[in-house]
């Protein structure tokens, strides 16, 4: 009899526990129709703790270029949420917008005359059936995505963009050609080899023409032995920003020798926030 009661109590407690389970929700997804890109784009959105549509508080926005749920949305949002906790208080509470990719290399690369430069990077032309769409993608961000976020959520004027590899190439192009779209840039192992390093070659003139907006830039580089070209390009970007960026450009460089290209992003973003928002 006693054994039966114990089994019954265990069953009841297990059933009660199962009934009280709640999903842990970190954000929500939605689709917006882009006229510029002529396709629907999925975005993932995190709203900070305490977000209330009825109060007057406004929030900065962090845009993740590789922001899909199977990409970097969850772990980068986790870093942001952690750093906004009251016992850390490194960052202001922020809205996070992750952009799902549909054709990453197309959207993140600018137009080039040919793909002959791919060979030295170990790529084959067949691996890039579409490319050169960054101008349209930047237009989508500037004229559709940002206005949509600003009209749908309580945003202030502070905007950060995060990109690594091809997404870092796109973030660099935005910095050099459309720098007022964001005031903080987190760029990691950017694929500046694209187009035979054309962006780096154009950078001095582009910076001279567009260096009046105040920006902070973090540049992260992984172990140089994995890819010396990308390592040297990251250093070159740092140097050109320091030389030609003007008084309104603050650049930080971070070398992560213990990380490779595939593993660097999480640690690099964490380091970026420490450098960009030093504790006082």
Domain containing residue 137: CATH number = 3.40.50.1820
Query: Domain for residue 16, yes or no?
Result: no
* pTM, rounded to two decimals: 0.92
Query: Domain for residue 8, yes or no?
Result: no
What is the domain range of residue 184? 29-276
Structurally, how many domains does the chain consist of?
1
Q: Looking at residue 14, what is its pLDDT?
A: 53
The 3-state secondary structure of 95-121 reads EEEEECCCCHHHHHCCCCCCCHHHHHH
Query: Domain for residue 24, yes or no?
Result: no
Query: Domain for residue 254, yes or no?
Result: yes
**Taking residues 120-128, what's their average pLDDT?**
86
Query: Domain for residue 21, yes or no?
Result: no
* Burial label, 191 (beta-carbon count in 10 A; 0-12, 13-18, 19+): buried
pLDDT digits (tens, 9 = 90+) for 80-106: 999 999 999 999 999 999 999 999 999
Query: Domain for residue 35, yes or no?
Result: yes
Q: Looking at residue 5, what is its pLDDT?
A: 45
Is residue 20 pLDDT above 70, yes or no? no
Query: Domain for residue 12, yes or no?
Result: no
Query: Domain for residue 13, yes or no?
Result: no
């Amino acid at each position: 009899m006693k054994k039966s009661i114990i089994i019954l109590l265990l069953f009841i407690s297990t059933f009660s526990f199962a009934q009280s389970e709640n999903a842990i929700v970190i954000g929500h997804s939605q689709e917006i129709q882009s006229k510029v890109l002529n396709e629907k784009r999925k975005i993932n959105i995190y709203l900070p703790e305490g977000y209330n549509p009825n109060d007057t508080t406004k929030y900065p926005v962090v845009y993740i270029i590789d922001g899909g749920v199977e990409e970097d949305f969850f772990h980068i949002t986790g870093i942001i949420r952690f750093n906004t906790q009251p016992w850390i208080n490194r960052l202001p509470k922020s809205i996070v917008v992750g952009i799902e990719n549909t054709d990453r290399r197309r959207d993140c690369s600018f137009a080039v005359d040919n793909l002959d430069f791919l060979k030295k990077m170990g790529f084959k032309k067949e691996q890039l059936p579409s490319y050169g769409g960054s101008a349209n993608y930047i237009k989508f961000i500037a004229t559709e995505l940002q206005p949509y976020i600003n009209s749908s959520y309580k945003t202030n004027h502070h905007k950060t963009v995060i990109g690594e590899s091809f997404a870092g190439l796109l973030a660099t192009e935005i910095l050099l050609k459309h720098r007022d779209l964001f005031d903080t840039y987190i760029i990691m192992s950017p694929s500046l080899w694209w187009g035979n390093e054309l962006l780096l070659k154009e950078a001095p003139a582009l910076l001279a023409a567009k260096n009046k907006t105040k920006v902070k830039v973090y540049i992260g580089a992984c172990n140089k032995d994995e890819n010396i070209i990308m390592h040297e390009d990251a250093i070159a970007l740092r140097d050109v920003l320091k030389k030609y960026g003007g008084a309104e450009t603050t650049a930080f460089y971070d070398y992560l020798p213990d990380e490779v290209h595939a593993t660097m992003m999480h640690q690099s973003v964490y380091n970026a926030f420490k450098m960009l928002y030093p504790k006082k």
